[in-house]
C-alpha cells in the first residue's frame, strides 16, 4: 500500500452503478436488491475485511450488514401507502454506495462494543490472490504485505481505521467517506490524515512493509 497524501483532489467521483441499481430497486425490491448485492458485495467484503482484520468476522459482518440493508429497504416499501409515494421517492434519491457502507460501518461499531468479551488468538487473513496475473512468488509477497498491513490497521482507533480503509483501500471520495462516517468532509479528512500518520509511524516502528 502506498502512503498517499490527503491533499489530493476531493471532488466527488460519481458512482457509475448508482442509477442502474436505484432503477432496479424502484422496479422491484427483490430483484433490485439482488442487483445491489451483485454490484457492491466486493466493496462490502473489502471494507468488512480491512476493518475487522479477520476473515470469519468479515463474512459475519458483511452478511449482517446486507441483511440490515434489505430490512431497511423492505421497511421503506411497507411504509409506502401507495398515495404519498414516500418509499419510491426515498429510493429515487438513494445514493446506494455510501448508504450501504454506512450500514456496514454502523454494524461494525455495534460489534466492537462486544469485542472485549471475545478475545482473539488467530491472525488476520486476506482473500487469496487470483490465479492469473502475478507469479506465485509475487502473490506470496503481496499476501505477506497485506497481512502485515491488516495487522497494523488493527492498531488504529476504529474511526481512523475506517476512514483510511474507505478512502485509500476502497478509493471512495472524501464526500462519501464523510457520508458514511456521519461527519463533515473536513472532519473525515482529519480522520484520514491522522490515521495515515499513525499508520506511517507503525510501519516505521516495525521496519516497513
The vertex-110 CA angle with 109 and 112, nearest 5°, equals 65
Find the domain containing 106 and state its range.
13-114
The confidence score (pLDDT) of residue 98 equals: 95
Lowest mean pLDDT among 74-83, 87-96, 101-110, 165-174: 74-83
The confidence score (pLDDT) of residue 118 equals: 59
Same domain, 21 and 99: yes
Same domain, 109 and 142: no
Residues 6+ apart with CB under 8 A from 19: none
Same domain, 97 and 174: no
In a domain, 168, yes or no: yes
In a domain, 5, yes or no: no
- Give the largest CA-CA distance in the chain: 63
Same domain, 70 and 145: no
- In angstroms, the CA 200 to CA 209 distance is 10
Which of 80, 114, 148 finishes a domain?
Answer: 114
The number of domains in the chain is 2
pLDDT digits (tens, 9 = 90+) for 25-82: 989 999 999 999 999 999 999 999 998 888 888 999 999 999 999 999 988 776 654 4
Same domain, 103 and 17: yes
First to last CA, the chain: 8
Same domain, 27 and 70: yes
User: Mean of the per-residue pLDDT values for the chain?
Assistant: 79
Q: State the pTM of this model.
A: 0.74
Same domain, 162 and 198: yes
Q: Check which CATH number belongs to the domain holding 146 and give it.
A: 1.10.10.10
Which of 82, 114, 146 finishes a domain?
Answer: 114
Amino acid at each position: 500500500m502506498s502512503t498517499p497524501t490527503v491533499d489530493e483532489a476531493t471532488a466527488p467521483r460519481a458512482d457509475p452503478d448508482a442509477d442502474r441499481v436505484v432503477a432496479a430497486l424502484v422496479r422491484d425490491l427483490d430483484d433490485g436488491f439482488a442487483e445491489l448485492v451483485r454490484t457492491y458485495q466486493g466493496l462490502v467484503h473489502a471494507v468488512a475485511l480491512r476493518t475487522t482484520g479477520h476473515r470469519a468476522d468479515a463474512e459475519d459482518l458483511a452478511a449482517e450488514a446486507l441483511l440490515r440493508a434489505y430490512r431497511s429497504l423492505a421497511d421503506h416499501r411497507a411504509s409506502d401507502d401507495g398515495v404519498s409515494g414516500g418509499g419510491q421517492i426515498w429510493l429515487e434519491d438513494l445514493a446506494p454506495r455510501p448508504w450501504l457502507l454506512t450500514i456496514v460501518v454502523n454494524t461494525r461499531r455495534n460489534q466492537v462494543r462486544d469485542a472485549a468479551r471475545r478475545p482473539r488468538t488467530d491472525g488476520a487473513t486476506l482473500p487469496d490472490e487470483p490465479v492469473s496475473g502475478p507469479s506465485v512468488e509475487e502473490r506470496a509477497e503481496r499476501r505477506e504485505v497485506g497481512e502485515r498491513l491488516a495487522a497494523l490497521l488493527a492498531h488504529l482507533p476504529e474511526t481512523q481505521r475506517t476512514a483510511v480503509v474507505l478512502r485509500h483501500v476502497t478509493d471512495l471520495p472524501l464526500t462519501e467517506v464523510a457520508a458514511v462516517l456521519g461527519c463533515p468532509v473536513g472532519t473525515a479528512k482529519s480522520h484520514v490524515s491522522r490515521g495515515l500518520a499513525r499508520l506511517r509511524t507503525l510501519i516505521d516502528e516495525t521496519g516497513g512493509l
